[in-house]
């Protein structure tokens, strides 16, 4: 039957939305076919657009940069945990939730790669069901105990198809969109500080970085094809000395 390569990467382009605190992507034609008989482009972007990796140095002052992370650390066996049954807008899912969604007979092993697949890729910019507000501002996220468990397993990396692995109200959306905080509090019936205490702001980013675990966000492509499966997974960013993050290609290598 052979091995099938499944692309887990969002399409990338200069019209894709970015986090509101970042400048928009800019693509400039340096040369063109009709003028210069060749095409050359200059791209201005931060590296946290589309499918990308966060090196530990992104959130840890002594963390490793991309130039110090070997490819074999980004490649290996892993689980694409299908959280779609419990991933609702603003869901704050627990370790028990994650364990209930594990493929039958599977467990998170030492040095696994773990992808928390929420189904939020259906709202990204490349899909007919695109919804930027839902994608960036209403995505679910894991409770700290989920990340603590993955750290205890010394996973190679953790990824998600959401704009951030952290809950959307543990990003700067919390302060940029006070109207959504009001909506969230009406939904839960509690002040946000009771359900999403500020002490855990960006917990996933800080905890993974300080334990030397890279993190990948905005996964997409054909990820649904490997949901709920153990597959070989690889991430392939630049070999960038000093790089704290990088747009990258990610693939699963599925048997059969």
CATH number at residue 234: 3.50.30.50
How far is 141 from 87, CA to CA, in rounded Å? Answer: 8
Q: Kindly state whether residue 181 falls inside one of the protein's structural domains.
A: yes
**DSSP three-state, residue 114:** strand
Q: Kindly state whether residue 104 falls inside one of the protein's structural domains.
A: yes
How far is 134 from 125, CA to CA, in rounded Å? Answer: 11
Q: Kindly state whether residue 199 falls inside one of the protein's structural domains.
A: yes
* DSSP code for 210: H
From residue 244, alpha-carbon distances to 21, 43, 66, 82 in Å are 17, 18, 6, 28
Q: Kindly state whether residue 130 falls inside one of the protein's structural domains.
A: yes
pLDDT tens-digit readout, 49-86 = 999 999 999 999 999 999 999 999 999 999 999 999 99
Q: Kindly state whether residue 225 falls inside one of the protein's structural domains.
A: yes
Domain count, the chain: 1
Predicted TM-score (pTM) of the model is 0.97
Q: Kindly state whether residue 42 falls inside one of the protein's structural domains.
A: no
Residue where the block lists tokens 């966060």: 54
Which residue range(s) make up the domain with 145? 3-12+47-255
pLDDT tens-digit readout, 162-220 = 999 999 999 999 999 999 999 999 999 999 999 999 999 999 999 999 999 999 999 99
Q: Kindly state whether residue 211 falls inside one of the protein's structural domains.
A: yes
């Amino acid at each position: 039957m052979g091995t099938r390569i499944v692309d887990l990467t969002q399409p990338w382009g200069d019209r894709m939305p970015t986090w509101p605190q970042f400048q928009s992507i800019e693509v400039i034609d340096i040369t063109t076919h009709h003028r210069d008989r060749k095409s050359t482009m200059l791209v201005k972007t931060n590296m946290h657009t589309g499918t990308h990796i966060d090196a530990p140095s992104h959130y840890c002052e002594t963390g490793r940069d991309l130039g110090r992370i070997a490819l074999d650390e980004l490649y290996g066996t892993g689980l694409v945990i299908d959280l779609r049954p419990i991933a609702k807008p603003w869901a704050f899912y627990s370790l028990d939730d994650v364990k209930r969604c594990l493929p039958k007979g599977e467990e998170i092993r030492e040095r696994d790669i773990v992808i928390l697949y929420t189904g939020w890729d259906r709202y990204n910019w490349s899909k007919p069901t695109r919804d930027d507000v839902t994608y960036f501002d209403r995505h679910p996220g894991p409770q700290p105990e989920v990340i603590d468990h993955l750290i205890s397993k010394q996973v190679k990396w953790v990824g998600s198809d959401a704009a951030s692995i952290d809950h959307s109200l543990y990003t700067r959306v919390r302060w940029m969109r006070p109207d959504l905080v009001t909506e969230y509090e009406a939904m839960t019936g509690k002040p946000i500080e009771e359900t999403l205490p500020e002490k855990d702001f960006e917990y996933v980013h800080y905890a993974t970085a300080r334990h030397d675990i890279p993190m990948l966000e905005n996964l997409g492509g054909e990820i649904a094809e490997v949901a709920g499966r153990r597959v070989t997974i690889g991430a392939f960013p630049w070999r960038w000395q000093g790089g704290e993050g990088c747009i990258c290609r990610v693939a699963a290598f599925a048997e059969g």
